[in-house]
Every structure is written in structure tokens, then in C-alpha cells.
Amino acid sequence: MTKEVHILGSGCAKCQKLAQHTEAAAKTMGLDYRIEKVTDLKQVMGYGVMMTPALVVDGQVKIVGKMPSVDEIKKLLE
């Protein structure tokens, strides 16, 4: 089953780093995944997120306003 992952944010450096870390975590786990970057403020707020970057996995907000490590992201993707 494909993991649906969304990176919420403006496209800032932290958002880009979160996307890189998430991709690295998914690849090392051998996951079937799809990452989408969501930069539209209305869509971001639709998740109830007020701080970015944020990580959403299969529709559930997992991290808000933090930069988790690759290892932390692996736990969130399980």
C-alpha cells in the first residue's frame, strides 16, 4: 500500500529539508510512497496546522513546526 505523505509549508529551507529527510527515511525503509509538497496556505490551514513545516502521513498530522531527524521520521512512517 502506498504511503501518502504531504509536506506542508511555504517552500522555505526548513520545508525543503523536511522533504529531503522524509524521502531518505522512506527510501531506506523500502516503502512505496508518494510525497506531495503543499504550499497553498488555505490547504495547509485545512489540516489545522498553524506552524510549518508540518508532516502529514496518510491524512494524519504527525509533526508541526519541528525538524525531525531521519530516524524520527522512520518511526512516523511505520
Catalytic residue among 4, 10, 12, 17: 12
Catalytic residue among 5, 7, 8, 15: 15
Is 12 among the residues known to form the active site?
yes
- Contact predicate 56/24, CB 8 Å: no
Q: Which runs of E-coded beta strand occur in 1-78? A: 3-8, 33-38, 54-57, 60-64
Is 22 among the residues known to form the active site?
no
Residues catalogued as catalytic: 12, 15
